Homo-oligomer: A and B are copies of this chain.
């Protein structure tokens, strides 16, 4: 009944001695509580957020539905608590997915010196500090024959600014002459950019939550014009183990990264419409894209 999520592109996986998330066939996602305070912090966030009647529906739709917690027995017979969430990919057949960790800073003001040092190192080694976000993982559906383009996570995390630009192009097209998909996925009234702009308006005003080290998940379904179906682009917020109270201050760290991301995607959309390579970038210049598939 339970299986390993087929479309996870970032975050914790099951491995020797580590529990990973599971999904069932009724559309639920079971995330093992991280053993330290992070697990309980994430549960506390979901409980508080679910009960918060101030959240408008147009914003709540960006968050996974929370179904409480559940103790589950692992294969070794040990019981372990899980957060039960909506499985965001359950209604999709071959979802193209990108996970982007938002914020130039992934630690909060109250973090310990040791934790700050660890995060700051990671933020400097990835694009976080420079761009205000980093791509944590992605998969791009190519075709039934080829399957998915899913570059190794380590390589994705090491992306340079130019490689991030290419990944945003790659995300919406394996074919540089096909800009129709980009217009539908990034552009348009229901596209990813429109959804991010809706989030931006909320982040300019809300002072209740600071979404430290959270990710934005982009998802869509590749379709051919003949099928007549929409790629149904969706933006979701995930990973709330480091959410802290806003205490009357906007989440300027998330908002800054979000604005930077919006600018990148706007430019990617323009570039794809123009059929040109992004300024100063040659497709051949990066191992990340050449070795894709």
Contact = CB atoms under 8 A, between A and B. Distances in A.
State the number of copies, please: 2
A109 B253 CA distance: 15
Interface string A269-289: 000000000011000000000
A8 interface: no
Per CB-CB distance, the 7 closest pairs between chain A and chain B, nearest first, are: A256-B256, A252-B256, A132-B252, A252-B260, A109-B129, A109-B130, A250-B263
Interface string A226-263: 00000000000000000000011110110111011011
Interface in A90-129: 104-105, 109, 116, 120, 124, 129
A198 interface: no
B109 A249 contact: no
Contacts of A257: 252, 256
A6 B259 CA distance: 39
19 contacts: A104-B105, A104-B252, A109-B124, A109-B130, A116-B120, A131-B249, A132-B249, A132-B252, A132-B253, A161-B249, A204-B259, A204-B262, A249-B260, A250-B263, A252-B256, A252-B259, A252-B260, A253-B256, A256-B259
Contacts of A205: 263
Contact of A259 (B124, B130, B255): B255
